[in-house]
Structure 1
Amino acid sequence: MAANAAPAQVLEFDALDGWAADDHRAALAVFRNTCSLLRDPVWVPVCKLAADAADTSTAARQFFELLFRPVVVGTPPALFTGYYEPELKGSLTRTPRFGYPLYRKPPELTEGQIFQSREAIESGALRGRGLELVWLDDPVEVYFLQVQGSGRIVLPDGRVLRLGYAAKNGHPYRSIGQELIRRGASLADVSAQDIKAWVRANPGPGRALLNSNPSYVFFRKLEDLPATSGPIGSMGRPITGLRSVAIDPAFVTLGAPVWVEKEGREPLRRLMIAQDTGGAIKGAQRADIFFGTGFSAGEEAGKIKDGGRLIQLLPIDRAYALLPDR
């Protein structure tokens, strides 16, 4: 973790707004889901104690308070956004209705390679190679499914195809919301819902706007993922609605607990687990909150662009090691 490159402040738990009111038992269950993947010697004994902790709210709170210290890395205010797992209609074959493909990873694409841009792929660079996984009926949903990184596709016969991130084309992610602002839109006009509506109402300029982000995501089928599980995060395990958060691993350890103090119209105070990453998630005070699956989750996630404070919970020795006099 590169948190030493940013200022750090160690807090007490009573400085966390709403800490006592949270469901620590729910947070501990999500923490356990990926804790076994943490191999750092500082984390291994903590994860052993997490597995052995009693399954009660009191025991869960005591676990976090005894073994961790809250640390603010970087300088608030934070920027919180939201993401979700879309549920869309699609077809395994191209039809007059379903004409927009999601692609599997091309076999020649290697990690870190600069591949074809979004514009080239959307113009047919991969057409005819049999790389199509599924076809959707809306190019706007193709784009936003790539932004989310996973999804559920309901096929005409009722079967559900689970898709997860496989690779990207190596081009940098560019925010189309920021591009709209550069063109003169106001900050109030760049929610996900507003962007979708504008692109659909302006097909030509809308396609050009989507192509201004050259980054492109390829998918894979998730054959063995139960319908009740969330999508797979960057740690290779399912993530949990309103308990999992995407962070920048240069500043936050993947798998670490983080305390979220999100402001805005609907303030949120909750202990979450850093179980995912994202191309647009950069910085110590930057986080993307996973809201769950389906339309309602998408509506909620699309409205979030709020300030606040992101606080890491670190093992005691690691927390104090971040202070400048250590």
Structure 2
Amino acid sequence: MLAAARSIALGLLLGLSGMDARAQMLDFEALDGWAEDDHRAALSVFLDTCDLLTDPDWRPVCRLAPQAMTSREAARSFFELLFRPVVIGEPPALFTGYYEPELPGSLTRTPRFLYPIHARPPEVQDGVQWLSRAEIQRSGVLRGRGLEVAWLDDPVEAFFLQVQGSGRIRLPDGRVLRVGYGGRNGHAYRSVGQEMVRRGIATRDQVSAQGIKAWVRANGAVGQDLLHHNPSYVFFRRLPDLPAEKGPIGAMGRSITTMRSIAVDPAFVTLGAPVWIEKEGRAPIRRLMIAQDTGGAIKGAQRADIFFGTGPDEGLAAGTLKDGGRLVVLLPIERAYALLPEG
């Protein structure tokens, strides 16, 4: 009973749901590679969204944060003095990657550009389930309504643009159109890669974004039908005022930063919080990142999607990432100490 009561209390404190909250506070010395990171770079990204953290535990640290931008040492001291590392949930974590695609496209339908991405129709409401991906595409319910944001030349890339949630579309005249998340149809994301494993098409180790694309393209209508396994359908909006040097817009309404921003499950990790990443695998990562985004496939306390940047090389790196490790959230010191058992 005491353990259950503590779990509920922890959930209320962290803003979690249910009784899945388990936490362990660590010392900074327990973070592998902590001393070697560029804490000033992480602090700069933290400042991008710090003003959106209005909870009383966060306000004091956000007021002090700009003063720590003077050096890497000052930034490190800022985090060590005002935060404590907390492991929420039970490792191993699952780290994947995402990126901002850059794709050829057009503002109008042409013989080459036949596959539209759409703005959200007015009848689609947040939190209300609408038609599934298969129903949308087979019925033509979006056709002829002026909802086309842009047209692409590859239906598979149109699908994966929805998975990424944002992108750059290079128009025939050389201009680049930035598009961002504009809502979805209310259906939960379902993994096409997991469905390939279930059907025996590929093993778990073989599944990657590149592998899925290749199989779908090689299998015609059967490949397109596989994509319908994911009923979630994402809508887009144009972002004409987003500068080229800025990253895509994350869930907090601000640009995210290459290799410093991650997507998390906000049921477990506060958006805007610093998060220490210990990713294993072929290219280990030890880095302080900021939780500034979410994703339909990102569920659980020990789950994160690392933003790799823009372009095909970044897409290749992101699409093959599927590694374990540990995710450690940095919480304001008073909130972290409140997690300790009494006595």
TM-score tier after normalising by the smaller chain length? over 0.9
Moved more, 44-53 or 147-156: 44-53
Whole-angstrom CA distance in 2 between matches of 1:325 and 1:248: 28
Q: Give runs of aligned pairs for residues 106-125 of structure 1, distance below 5 A.
A: 106-123=121-138, 124-125=140-141
Q: Report the equivalent of 1:9.
A: 24
Alignment correspondent of 1:192: 209
Report the aligned-residue RMSD: 1.1
**1:126 matched to 2:142:** yes
How far the C-alpha of 1:51 sits from its partner, in A, is 2.0
Contact 2:44 2:69 in 1 (8 A): no
Deviation at 1:122, TM superposition (A): 1.7
Which residue does the alignment assign to 2:271? 254
Residue of structure 1 in register with 2:5 after alignment: none
Match of 1:217 in 2: 234
2:259 is the alignment partner of 1:229: no
Task: Provide the C-alpha distance between the structure 2 equivalents of 1:121 and 1:75, rounded to a whole number of angstroms.
Answer: 38
Task: Report whether the alignment pairs 1:52 with 2:57.
Answer: no
Structure 1's consecutive aligned runs of 4 or more residues displaced over 4 angstroms after TM superposition are none
- Whether contact under 8 Å (2:178, 2:238) holds in the other structure is yes
Q: Is this contact kept in 2: 1:230–1:238, CA < 8 A?
A: yes
Question: Equivalents in 2 of 1:134, 1:325: separation in Å?
Answer: 58
Q: CA-to-partner distance for each residue in 1:213-232, whole Å, 9 max, x for gaps?
A: 11000000112100000000
- In structure 2, distance between residues paired with 1:313 and 1:31: 12
What does 1:1-326 correspond to in 2, within 5 Å?
1-2=15-16, 5-123=20-138, 124-184=140-200, 185-325=202-342
* Gap change, CA 1:192 and 1:325, over 3 Å in 2: farther
Which residue identity lines up with residue 294 of structure 1 in the other structure? Answer: G
After TM superposition, give the deviation of residue 113 of structure 1 in Å.
1.6
Which range is displaced more, 116-125 or 159-168?
Answer: 116-125
Task: Using the TM superposition, give the Cα deviation of residue 324 of structure 1 relative to its aligned residue in structure 2, in angstroms.
Answer: 4.3
CA distance in 1, matches of 2:121, 2:176: 24
The alpha-carbon deviation at position 112 of structure 1 amounts to 1.1
Secondary structure, aligned partner of 1:101: strand
Mapped contact 1:8–1:323 kept (Cα < 8 A): no
In structure 1, give the amino acid aligned to 2:51.
S
Quote the residue 2:3 is aligned against: none
1:54–1:30: structure 2 CA closer, same or farther, 3 Å change rule?
A: closer
Summarize deviations over 1:6-35 as a string: whole Å, max 9, x none: 211110111000001101010000000000
Percent identical pairs in the alignment equals 71
Q: How many residue pairs get matched?
A: 326
Give, as a single letter, the amino acid of the residue that structure 2 aligns with 1:2.
Answer: L
1:125 Cα offset (Å): 1.8
- Structure 2: which 5+ runs fail to align? 1-14
Contact between 2:108 and 2:151, CA under 8 Å: does it hold in 1? yes
Q: Distance in 2 between matches of 1:59 and 1:29?
A: 12
Distance 2:340 2:279 in 1: 25
Counterpart of 1:160 in structure 2: which amino acid? Answer: V
